Structure 1
């Protein structure tokens, strides 16, 4: 028997259906497959979504695709492109510049973005890229917040335009540099947040992602080996009102999915004030898994909620080795199988069963899984 009464409430993360019209947000010249929209938006979440199938030249999903969201770190795509724009003919990136560009794209390093933003014109970077790429909904940060690159307004359809430029029009070295780094996106971001949500959690590789997150209610990042030093709080101040919502916690997942980068996916979400990172992580995962994404392969297993703060993921079904990482508090995880291992005690409860999490290549005690029994009834044995 294990702790279930408290966990039961966390397990009941009810999803509210919200289907969008496939045709309502269609940009001129960009057809949508009739009846393809199937976006399931969790209750309380505001979303902007676009999925573009490069093979057929059609959108398979659109929901509020022209709505502007504060970009958070997704704007780093534009910062990288601005840097690369006039570096022809060979587009060589010096080692000193790689040292900030690669962490910015792979691990969402904020210091690199801060330096480039301040040294290269700030808002003017966005103005240049809007003109170069023909973006329709993108705008620089509002007056009074010029220094906050994450306050750049960006829509799902403009994000598709950015990726289409990268894949179809950019010089080969530019495409290879940016997309090559996005394919090497790290689970642990520079600020210790787990950034394998959305696309990276819903689909198996090949994929390439640039994620974004911002919210004062998000707890400190705990990804990677636990550490005792406090993480740096990089949350931006939130003014009371603006054309683009700067108040609610944001979590965005963008990138490409499938062989040959077949589908471009852009998912922008805002969550109720006070939402934890684990809850937002779970909700964008559920939304992304509902999408019609041609060419995508979905991981095998069973999705289960977890409870407790920062559950340790271990290399084996025991506590004898140091943790690989820690889960965002209360996040939903994919369970591949389960096995007996070391008995874990959370008085007055005990459990000897462990869940294997294939996306982490690690194990957590079943005592932290939201399930009615010590052994999950529908999950196979390892």
Structure 2
């Protein structure tokens, strides 16, 4: 019998167990919340230490259901890839793209490929891409990277409300061929990004399909789905982030007028780890969700992953279906999600260290030993479509209380 409190400590264990929540189709009433089943008032729950910008827009009613610091500027990380793709497709159809560029767009939007984004950034004017799209879409809080970092596309300034404007353009104004192409890529978002990060946090974890997402992350060392080394191999030339003395791009990039732009993200926080989830949720792409976040220095990816998930789950998102199950914390690193309940079953992915997971049911399987613990129960994770040994779940029992058997 395992005694998980030995591994996490009694106080920490109590906090983890208290943090575990059950997901359902409606919010659980608390405090002054309306009764379950009715529409919730806007109530974004931001975890302690997190700075957030939130905007949730219901396209059916044409209204915002959530706005919190929605005009606040954050460094975009990979969310700017939406603007890079739109600029590339301005006044032309996807079919007009060379095959190599089309492949790059697919990789950039589905797997958040950084090398593809850097190629377009270098070939199409760098910061001028942002200047053009600000004018074309009427963005109010978006600006090219600061003059000190002109080659770092990830340092573009962006707000939650401008992110909503970008999605509204794609869905409601862009030519149908462009809309269908870009949304098809966003619907095909892969769990593992090309840099080894698990990018299905926030929207993909909080809601059932249909959804389509473009995520962003910056300032972390490892994010599951691969090794830390995979993420560390991203150089400034491919990641849009400064990590040393490698090539950064040109020192001066012309704006739309042919002169250096005077609008730049000079005051945006470039230091704290950033994690963003953006996209659309529900039948007919009903609701646009933009959650931009900054986390305390040194925050582990799994911690930020969990905090963004909790924040996103707290939002009033019309048309969203929330998966059933129980959210449980995990411990350990390199924990694998497998196709079956044995250590020889195929590994589907690895979890970001310490990330919270949704447990749908549990069943007995191979006994696993991680001295001094042993456990033969395995948890089914519906968001991953596979199993993990219960030994790495942050509960003191071998079984998760209240979770049914599979």
- TM-score, with length taken from structure 1: 0.89
- The answer for the alignment partner of 2:163 in structure 1 is 159
Judging changes above 3 Å, is the alpha-carbon distance between structure 1 residues 246 and 162 closer, same or farther for their aligned structure 2 residues?
same
Q: Judge conservation of contact 2:222–2:301 (CA < 8 Å) in 1.
A: no
Pairwise mapping of residues 145-294 of structure 1 onto structure 2 (< 5 A)? 145-215=149-219, 218-223=220-225, 232-234=233-235, 236-237=241-242, 242-294=266-318
CA distance 1:48–1:11, shift in 2 (3 Å): farther
2:124 aligned with 1:120, yes or no? Answer: yes
Pairing partner for 2:341 from 317, 322, 332: 317
Give CA-to-partner distance per residue, 1:283-304, whole Å, 9 cap, x none. Answer: 0000000000000000111100
Task: Please say if residues 39 and 63 of structure 1, whose CA atoms lie closer than 8 Å, have aligned partners that are also in contact.
Answer: yes
CA deviation vs aligned residue, 1:327-376 (integer Å, no higher than 9, x gap): 00000000010001111111111111110111111111111001121111
Runs (5+) with no aligned partner, structure 1: 16-33
User: Considering only aligned residues, what root-mean-square deviation do their CA atoms show, in Å?
Assistant: 2.2
CA change 1:347–1:210 in 2 (3 A) is same
The ranges of structure 1 where at least 4 consecutive aligned residues each deviate by more than 6 angstroms after the TM superposition are 226-230
Contact between 1:309 and 1:328, CA under 8 Å: does it hold in 2? Answer: yes
CA distance in 2, matches of 1:298, 1:280: 20
For residues 45-84 of structure 1, what are the structure 2 equivalents within 5 Å?
A: 45-84=50-89
Question: Secondary structure of the residue that 1:245 maps to in structure 2?
Answer: coil
TM value normalised by structure 2: 0.84
Distance 1:193 1:367, change over 3 A: same
Distance 2:323 2:7 in 1: 29
CA shift digits 1:140-160 (9 cap, x unpaired): 000110000000000000000
Q: What per-residue deviation string (whole Å, max 9, x for no partner) do you get for residues 177-217 of structure 1?
A: 111110000001010100000001000000000000001xx
What stretches of structure 2 of length at least 5 have no aligned partner? 20-38, 245-264
CA contact (8 A) 1:11 1:305 kept: no
SS of 1:272's partner is: coil
Identify which range, 38-47 or 340-349, moves more after superposition.
340-349
Aligned to 1:361: 385
Aligned residues: 359
| Higher RCO (C-alpha under 8 Å, 6+ residues apart) | 2
Shift of 1:91: 5.5
User: Aligned pair in 2 of structure 1 residues 187, 35: CA closer, same or farther (>3 Å)?
Assistant: closer
